[in-house]
Structures are given as C-alpha cells and as structure tokens.
C-alpha cells in the first residue's frame, strides 16, 4: 500500500486507541507484524499551547516506524499549526486527522465525529493541514453522524480532492458508538469511489476476519483495534494467512503470560515502576483470557501496588498453568 510516497509492506495496521496504544504496546504490535502503528489522538490546541502532557503522547521509538500521529480539533488554523509542530519536532511518517471520535468531550467541542455534520468545516481543516506540511496526511472517519445522515462517500471524495493520501473508514455512526456491528458495505462503497488507498476498520478480531474484509470490501489495508488488544499476534497471523493461504501460528497461554511480563517491563522502562504497575491493571483481562481461575490472580494484580509483588503474582500464575495445563482450557 502506498500512502503518498510511503510504502507499507504489510497493510494490516494497528488502530489508534486512547489509553492503550502507547509506545510499549505499539512496539509489541510492530514486532508482531503490524505494518504501521498510530499514536492515540492528541489535541491540536494542546499542541499549539505547548502542553507537555500532549507532547508526551507523541514520544516514540524509531523501531515503531512507519508511525502515524493523530490529531483532533475543530479549528483549521490550530489544526494546521499543530501539524507543522508535529512534523518539525517528531518527523512522523503520517499525520492523521481524527474525524471519527464520538466521545462526548471531543464532540462537544465540534471536533472528531461532530465534523461529519459539517463537511465544509472538515474540508477547511483538511485543506489547511495538507497545505501546512510535507508529510502525507491521512484521515479517519466514521460512516456519518447518525443513520439518517450517512456521509462516508461524500466526505471521502471531498477529502481525496483536498489531497488526503489515504482514508480509514470505521463504518459505524457517531450516535451508535459501538452498539451495532460495523457495516462493511460502506467500506466497499467508499473504495469503489476513491483512487487513494482505503483502509477498512471495525470488528476485525481474527486473521480470518481480516482476510474477509479485504475480500468483501476490496479495501487496500485493514486497521485493527480491539482485536489487537485481545491478541497482539493478530498481525503476524494475518500476514501469514495472506501470504501463504493458511495460518499455522498457534499462541499458547504461556506465550500470553510471557508477553504480559514483557509488556510490564517495557512499561516500567517507559513510565517508571509506580505508573507502569498501575497502568498495566487494565491489560490483565486481555492477557489472561481463557485461563481458568485467572480471576483470583487478576484480583491480586489489581490490588498490587508495587512492581516486585506484581512480578511475583505473574510468576505464580505462570507456574500454576505449567503445573496444571488444564487451567488453560
Ligand atoms: C479504548 C479505545 C480508544 C480509542 N481511541 C481512538 C483514538 O484515539 N483515535 C481514533 O481515531 N479512534 C479511536 N478508537 C477507535 C478505534 O481506532 C477503532 O476505530 C474502533 O475501535 C473500531 O475498530 P475495532 O473494531 O478493530 O476495535 C478507540 C477505540 C477504543 C476501543
């Protein structure tokens, strides 16, 4: 897949996910075959104000490349200025515009998916950002604000005409949130109207789903969000299936426990012991799915306040699975 001049060898990408796709998790996914990764969205206004916290979200490791940095906002000038700042300071491979977030505090400020109700303003934003930087600019949209106002094709054509280099389509409406299944037909409709790459997104939870999305929609790339939280190996499995027609990779519970341990150590290097121990708590339900009796270990991990105790509980969990493989059935 070609995004501007950027060649993506394996077009199966990690979706931006606020609170999850930090540097450690992005590295984990790149090492397991993600063709590109994205930072979670950052506020254009925060960047222009020079907010340290906003800038922290964009810190990355060179091994993550190709990396996209995603920005949101409602005002063309700060959006353009923030893109300029991102380009100058971080040199990402892609700058992505968020036109899909349906979280209240973003929509209330007329940003994210609220722009699906105001395509002329979306157009002004795209125009201002594309003219402000040399980095390829991409965008991510939902299908529309509500089912009564599906605008994906109109928005997509407009964004292409403004010089957007690739478009990700998450075919749910803002009003629906995550309530109903993603409607992949909308991805196919957008693809049939555009010349730039179209990246399909929504409800890809296995390598078979990914292959089916390519086939059913004709999309150029697939972007995976929650499916990667549950299974960070989903990228290498999808690549294997697409390259060879089958997937023989099998990930065991012990592999998952080992990756959890590795993830924790990456977080410790990145954030320090205290913050890493706290932030890992939301990950245990993903890593320890499918382990019988994991809930007692999970509860202890959530109560744990220091690194050595956390490491010890994970070690005990691993030992109990080794001692009784039936626990992993
Ligand atoms: C916890 C969480 C955080 C998210 N944060 C972002 C974000 O920062 N930017 C964005 O464009 N989409 C965000 N999304 C939406 C995902 O990128 C993706 O479009 C959506 O989850 C559908 O894909 P999936 O079915 O593969 O998860 C987020 C989704 C989740 C679950």
Asked if 214 contacts 1 with a C-beta cutoff of 8 angstroms, the reply is no
Q: Which residues of the chain have pLDDT under 50?
A: none
CATH number at residue 314: 1.10.1200.80
Asked if 109 contacts 79 with a C-beta cutoff of 8 angstroms, the reply is no
Residues with CB under 6 A from ligand 1: 15-20, 40-41, 70, 98, 100-101, 140, 170, 201-204, 224-227
pLDDT given at position 292: 83
Strands 12-14, 37-38: pairing is unpaired
Asked if 135 contacts 95 with a C-beta cutoff of 8 angstroms, the reply is yes
Task: State pLDDT tens for residues 19-68.
Answer: 999 999 999 999 999 999 999 999 999 999 999 999 999 999 999 999 99
3-state class (DSSP) for residue 137? strand
Q: Let me know whether 320 and 236 are in one domain.
A: no
pLDDT given at position 328: 62
Does 101 participate in catalysis according to the annotation?
yes
3-state class (DSSP) for residue 245? coil
pLDDT given at position 166: 98
Asked if 129 contacts 80 with a C-beta cutoff of 8 angstroms, the reply is yes
Q: Which of 310, 329, 325 is nearest to 263 (CA)?
A: 310
Domain boundary among 226, 244, 262: 244
CA of 70 to the centre of ligand 1 (A): 12
Domain boundary among 218, 244, 270: 244
Atom 4, ligand 1: which residue's CA is nearest? 17
Q: Which residues contact 108 (CB under 8 A, 6 or more apart)?
A: 114
Q: Let me know whether 312 and 230 are in one domain.
A: no
pLDDT given at position 69: 98
Task: State pLDDT tens for residues 93-115.
Answer: 999 999 999 999 999 999 999 99
pLDDT given at position 327: 66
| Domain tally, the chain | 2
Q: Let me know whether 94 and 191 are in one domain.
A: yes
H-helix or E-strand containing 72? strand 67-72
Q: Let me know whether 111 and 257 are in one domain.
A: no
CATH number at residue 184: 3.20.20.70
- Cα diameter, the chain: 62
Atom 3, ligand 1: which residue's CA is nearest? 17
Atom 18, ligand 1: which residue's CA is nearest? 225
């Amino acid at each position: 897949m070609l995004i501007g001049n950027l060649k993506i060898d394996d077009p199966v990408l990690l979706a931006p996910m606020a609170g999850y796709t930090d540097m450690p998790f992005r590295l984990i996914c790149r090492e397991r075959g993600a063709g590109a990764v994205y930072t979670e969205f950052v506020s254009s206004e925060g960047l222009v104000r020079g907010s340290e916290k906003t800038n922290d979200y964009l810190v990355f490791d060179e091994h993550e490349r190709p990396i996209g940095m995603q920005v949101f906002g409602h005002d063309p000038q700060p959006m353009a200025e923030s893109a300029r700042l991102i380009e100058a300071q971080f040199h990402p491979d892609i700058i992505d515009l968020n036109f899909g977030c349906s979280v209240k505090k973003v929509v209330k400020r007329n940003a994210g998916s609220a722009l699906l109700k105001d395509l002329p303003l979306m157009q002004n934003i795209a125009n201002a950002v594309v003219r402000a930087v040399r980095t390829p600019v991409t965008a991510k949209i939902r299908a529309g604000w509500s089912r009564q106002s599906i605008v994906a094709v109109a928005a997509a054509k407009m964004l292409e005409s403004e010089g957007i280099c690739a478009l990700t389509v998450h075919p749910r409406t803002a009003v629906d949130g995550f309530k109903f299944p993603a409607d992949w037909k909308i991805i196919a409709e957008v693809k049939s109207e555009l010349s730039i790459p179209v990246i399909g997104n929504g409800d890809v939870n296995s390598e078979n789903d990914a292959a089916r999305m390519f086939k059913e929609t004709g999309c150029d790339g697939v972007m995976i969000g929650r499916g990667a939280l549950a299974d960070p190996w989903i990228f290498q499995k999808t690549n294997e299936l697409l390259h060879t027609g089958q997937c023989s990779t099998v990930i065991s519970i012990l592999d998952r426990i080992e990756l959890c341990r590795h993830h924790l150590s990456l977080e410790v290097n990145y954030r320090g012991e205290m913050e890493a121990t706290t932030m890992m708590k939301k990950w245990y339900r993903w890593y320890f799915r499918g382990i019988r009796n994991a809930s007692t270990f999970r509860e202890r991990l959530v109560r744990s306040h220091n690194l050595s105790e956390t490491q010890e509980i994970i070690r005990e969990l691993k030992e109990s699975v080794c001692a009784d493989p039936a626990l992993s059935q």
